Amino acid sequence: MDQPTLRELVIKTVLSPRSVLAITTFLFCYIANILFRSLRHKKVFPVFGDKNDPAGFRDVIRDAYKKVMHPNTFYTLPTEPINNVIVPIKYVPEIKSVPETQLSFIEHNYFRFIGKHTTIITQRDHQLIEKGIKIDLTRFLGHTMFVMQDEASWVLQDMFGNCQDWTPIHLYANALRIISFVSGRVFIGLPMSRDERWLKSTIEFTVDTFLGGKKLSEYPRVFWPILEHVLPELRRVRWHYKNVKNLLQPLLEARLQDMEDPDFKRPKDMLQWGIDNSNGNERNIWWQTMFHLKISVAAIHSTGISLYHILFDIAALPDTHEILRQEIADVEAKYGCPLPKVGLTKLHKLDSLMKESQRMNQLNILTMTRKVMKDMKFSDGTTIPKGMFIGVASGAVNRDAEIFDNPNEFDPWRFYKLRQIPGMENQHQFVSTGGMNYNWGHGTHACPGRFFGSNEIKIIVVEFLKNFELKLLAGAKRPENNYWGMEVRPDFGAQMLIRRR
């Protein structure tokens, strides 16, 4: 008798009644599980908004906030590239300190920004970078004060010193450039911080990675490994790595050689903190390059956008100018010039205006975004399953009439007045989180660089107010923001007028 071929044996085995039953049972259970999770999602978390209308998410969130947040109901916002379950403010205390192993900030951003292909955020190195900001940079804020004031004075004179008459400037591009100079002076130091090659990459790296990620998301995932080598934006990302690597290498080698001296004293700069936090990668030039580029992502664009908003708000409110200048003069008379760290904290009116600007112009409509790594059960019994994404509607909180009087009006002294109430002198600061402010996040992953960023912005605004006049273009209004998905974008082309005092 002829032996059955391998093909015949496979067909006979696969098509046997027992195999067919097993396969059918598996498929049934698999599909039922998907449907169950989908139905559970729909039942527990009503959907607000249309994924095909991301420009309308701001209004959707505000409407949903009014309808379901006061009853404290969870709901879903169909954002791209991932849906987010919106957590009511009532439950923020339950998520603010949950460990990364259950609610992951890193995994959320790694997925949202396609970190594997854009390199904008990586799982392995994020915590080391955060340590360089949260611990080292924050610890030496007092030292950075005088360095930043010196650089802010120089860069504003260099950029606008010849503006004897009213001169139009594109504020967004100039704000990024100012922040790049001032941050770079602290991070890498002179003369590299003023090198145009360094500035180009530290400014443009963030833009190219974000744009590259958006382009990738327009294609099926199967093509991403190929497209990361084809898309112009992501090709430029690789160029930025090579450019910064070439600029950084001689500085790194010189610093490592200096460290061999027994009398070596650690400089207070990001070059040293990158070495100290490298977890064995002190001599790995590619790791060090990555560290400095990722620091630029955290330090330049969000701070630059905040500076843009604050300067436009000041320009739109000419009655505030002399009030702020008088406060600066009073504080300098008491604490000296350049201002020490404690002096900067006494600019309460400027701090209030900055916080109001942030309230009206948040960077994202959602904060405290996380990926659920393990089922998250809340005190009311609601469970958000593993694999889903969550966020807090901080933008809606900013316009809540039960929290803020006249929430749609810009009141520059709103938080200054609140700090005059006995017992609230140290609350409602620009860097504060929780309570009525979730724009920085809150808890474990509240923005670690907000203290440095706050000081940097105040220093730059003080230099502007002391040495320049600002106003809107003739007949112009304060530029409107553009909303797209979770993003709040400034008017990148908006101009204002500047004149030396």
Task: Tell whether 7 and 125 lie within a shared domain.
Answer: no
Which tokens sit at 20? 């067919």
Q: What is the pTM of this model?
A: 0.89
Residue set of the binding site: 447
73 and 4 in a common domain: no
The one-character DSSP state at 65 is I
How many CB atoms within 10 Å of residue 264?
11
pLDDT tens, residue by residue, 372-406: 999 999 999 999 999 999 999 998 899 999 899 99
- 4 with 122, same domain: the answer is no
Task: Note the residue count of the chain.
Answer: 501
If one counts the domains in the chain, the total is 2
Q: pLDDT by residue (tens digit) across 433-454? A: 988 899 999 988 899 899 999 9
Q: Which pair of structure tokens corresponds to residue 261?
A: 């001296």
8-state DSSP, 351: H
Residue 163 in contact with residue 468, Cβ under 8 Å?
yes
- Residue 79: what are its φ and ψ, rounded to 5°? -80, 160
Question: How many H-runs (helices) and E-runs (strands) does the chain carry?
Answer: 22, 12
C-beta of residue 140 within 8 angstroms of C-beta of residue 455: no
pLDDT in tens, 190-206: 999 999 999 999 999 99
Q: How far is Cα 267 from Cα 234, in angstroms, rounded to an integer?
A: 34
417 and 463, same domain (yes or no): yes
Q: ∠401-484-495 over CA atoms, to 5°?
A: 90
Query: What are the CA-CA distances from residue 448 to residues 130, 166, 172, 438, 445 (Å)?
Result: 7, 38, 24, 14, 7
461 and 396 belong to one structural domain: yes
Asked if 129 and 106 count as a contact pair (C-beta separation under 8 A), the reply is no
SS3 at position 111: helix
- Regarding whether 185 and 39 lie in a shared domain, the answer is no
Query: What distances in angstroms separate CA 428 from CA 221, 355, 457, one per listed residue?
Result: 44, 8, 17
User: Is residue 37 domain-shared with residue 49, that is, in the same domain?
Assistant: no
Determine how β-strand 84-86 pairs with β-strand 389-392.
Answer: parallel
How far out from the chain centre does Cα 401 lie? 26
Instruction: Split the chain (501 residues) into runs of 10 and give each run's mean pLDDT.
Output: 54 59 61 51 68 72 73 80 86 94 91 89 69 82 93 98 97 98 96 98 95 93 94 97 98 97 94 91 94 90 97 98 98 95 96 98 93 95 94 91 94 97 93 91 90 97 98 96 87 97 94
SS3 per residue for 192-205: HHHCHHHHHHHHHH
Count CB atoms within 10 A of the CB of residue 120: 22
Q: Give me the pLDDT at residue 60, please.
A: 78
Residues 447, 333: one domain? yes
Q: What is the pLDDT of residues 75-93, one digit of tens each?
A: 888 876 678 899 998 999 9
31 and 65 share a domain? no
CA distance linking residue 203 with residue 66, whole number of Å:
39
What 3-state class would DSSP assign to 50? coil
Which token pair is 77? Answer: 């916002």
Residues 40 and 70 in one domain: no
Domain check: are 352 and 214 in the same one?
yes
Binding residues for heme: 447
Q: Give the end-to-end CA distance of the chain in Å, rounded to a whole number.
A: 106
Domain range holding 3? 1-44
The model's pLDDT over 407-422, given as tens digits with 9 standing for 90+, comes to: 999 999 999 999 999 9
pLDDT recorded at residue 24: 66
